[in-house]
Structure 1
Amino acid sequence: MRLMIVSDLDGTLLDHATYSFAPAQPMLDWLAAHNVPVVLASSKTGAEIAMWQERLGLQRWPAIVENGAAVFDGRFDDTPYRRLRAALAGIDAPFQGFGDMSVAEVSAVTSLPPAEAALAQTRAYSEPGLWLGDDAGLAGFLTALETRGISARRGGRFLTLSFGGTKAGRLADLKAQVRPDVTIALGDAPNDAELLCAADHGVVVRNTHGPGLPPLPGEDAGRILRTQAEGPAGWREGLEAVLRGLGVMTQGDRLDG
């Protein structure tokens, strides 16, 4: 059985506060030993993803970047981002994007070290940021964005703006390329919902720091499950449950750690 794992990063494979992935390491080792592709799917930039692929030992696999705007291939062209920033300049609204912040401010709102915060500002397709107004103002802001062809997606921390593209859409592209028998997706936030529903099996990793996910189609049938643990511990918990349910992991398979 050819598997392909597609996983969100922040709050899913990485701890929400510390960015540690230590609890998931035994499962990452098992997947590597069995040559299972693990595709990162995140709102992070290509520069950030490349760093995390190296840390996680996932350099050989593709990745979905900037909330589904593209599949990362190592190239950088920020033309879409510059168009997006120009459009935002024409909207008077209390939205503070990464492009409006200093490196120190991005570091503060993300808890990233300054060097990594700078990578988060190296954007090509999308603009994450903070909505600083009320709900009524947000509705008007979203309408103004829509008239300019800009979509908004709520993640675990930020409202991310782009000219389109979803994690689910990029999953469809990768399925056509890789041709796996089974896809398993993991995520923790509203911007992961379409991805979880598009995969053969989905895992909602518990998140008590954000809005979480409402009930999704397929949960009643067991195609999508929810974890008890949060972050990387939940990632390992959910993925192990799916793999054992599929018979890919057997009683003889033990995860160290």
Structure 2
Amino acid sequence: MPMDHQLNGDHVSALDIRNLIVFSDLDGTLLDHRNYSHSAAAPALARLRHLEVPLILASSKTAAEITPLRKELGFSDCEAIVENGSGILEAVDEDSDEGDATETSYHAICQALERLPPCLRAQYEGFSDWSAQEVSDLTGLSIADAANARKRRFSEPGLWLGSEADKARFVEAVTAMGLIVQQGGRFLTLSFGGNKSERMMEIAARHSRQGMTPFIVALGDAGNDLAMIEQADLGVIIPNPTHSGIPPCKGEATGRIVRAEAAGPEGWNQVIMSLLDRAENNRS
């Protein structure tokens, strides 16, 4: 079904460009999964900037990784969700190079790890234990990008090196210290909580105007984006040929969740351009 037809439901019939806010995952969504380029989304990005529609980046990347990308895209005046929702990178003025993130909890995570019994601590290795070269070897990032990935503020990804029985003991021990444990595709990540969906609603509330509730659009390609997509007024699933993707969702039956026709930034561009067409038609 053509994308413009998918966006004809009642949920977008009264969309006002003045209360639109867009939240987007990065890798595999706004950024091409092969080369991390966003060039295919250039028309939609330019149009969002022209219409002054906020674009909130939401990623597993750190603040140090997102800051230069956000500036390159032209949305430094918008907050960003970092480390899979463990924290928020605040907005900055156009001429600034770096924004402040909400208060860091990373030191407390590392302290909690050091309070573990040595037999358990020795079986978990995280970013704080590795050099930039080791992170690069594990992830495929360049040395410079790996160094930025190590500048963590809210979460500690790592590898479990021991048995499943000891892993269960490890999880029980860190959970008792208030940490949340999430197993991703590669890393076992520790944090004090927070996810993309919770941060999305927190930021959207900041953008509320008197008498106008933000219309939230959320785009993503993977399971860790699903809660954000389901919580939004319009959720957009971007296909990603590198993994199995997001299974069918209830919201698809009503049109509240749609699937882009193309992968990565090409599909992202198609959806945003169609949505902006609809919003501007509503205004005229």
- Sort the TM-score into its range (normalised by shorter chain): 0.7 to 0.9
1:218 deviates by 1.2
Aligned counterparts of 1:35 and 1:236: Cα–Cα separation in 2: 17
Determine which of 202, 223, 226 is the counterpart of 2:259: 226
Aligned counterparts of 2:270 and 2:64: Cα–Cα separation in 1: 29
Q: Is the 8 A contact 1:106 1:117 kept in 2?
A: yes
- For residues 109-150 of structure 1, give each alpha carbon's deviation from its aligned partner in whole angstroms, at most 9, with x where no partner exists: 333321121111111111123456787876665444433322
Q: Give the alignment of 1:31-180 within 5 angstroms.
A: 31-73=48-90, 74-75=99-100, 80-89=105-114, 90=116, 91-92=120-121, 95-130=124-159, 142-153=171-182, 158-179=187-208, 180=213
- 1:10 matched to 2:27? The reply is yes
Q: Is the 8 A contact 2:25 2:219 kept in 1?
A: yes
Partner of 1:254: none
Q: Is the 8 A contact 1:62 1:71 kept in 2?
A: yes
Gaps of 5+ in 2: 1-15, 91-98
Deviates more, 1:98-107 or 1:41-50: 98-107
Query: One-letter code of the match for 1:82?
Result: H
Query: One-letter code of the match for 1:236?
Result: N
1:163 deviates by 0.5
Please provide the CA RMSD for this pair. 2.7
- For these two proteins, the number of residue pairs brought into alignment is 248
1:50 deviates by 0.9
1:16 deviates by 2.1
1:198 deviates by 1.4
1:185 deviates by 0.5
CA gap of 1:57–1:83, structure 2 versus 1, over 3 A, is same
CA gap of 1:162–1:23, structure 2 versus 1, over 3 A, is same
Q: Is the 8 A contact 1:7 1:13 kept in 2?
A: yes
CA gap of 1:14–1:112, structure 2 versus 1, over 3 A, is same
- 3-state SS in 2 of match to 1:129: strand
Deviates more, 1:178-187 or 1:145-154: 145-154
- 3-state SS in 2 of match to 1:165: coil
Aligned counterparts of 1:153 and 1:235: Cα–Cα separation in 2: 28
Determine which of 35, 41, 66 is the counterpart of 1:24: 41
Gaps of 5+ in 1: 251-257
Aligned counterparts of 1:83 and 1:130: Cα–Cα separation in 2: 19
Partner of 1:203: 236
CA gap of 1:232–1:135, structure 2 versus 1, over 3 A, is farther
Deviates more, 1:84-93 or 1:64-73: 84-93
CA gap of 1:166–1:178, structure 2 versus 1, over 3 A, is same
State the percentage of identical aligned residues: 44
CA gap of 1:173–1:76, structure 2 versus 1, over 3 A, is closer
Q: Is the 8 A contact 1:64 1:170 kept in 2?
A: yes
Q: Is the 8 A contact 1:13 1:231 kept in 2?
A: yes
Query: One-letter code of the match for 1:182?
Result: F
Query: One-letter code of the match for 2:130?
Result: M
CA gap of 1:199–1:34, structure 2 versus 1, over 3 A, is same
Q: Give the alignment of 1:185-196 within 5 angstroms.
A: 185-196=218-229
With normalisation by structure 2, the TM-score equals 0.76
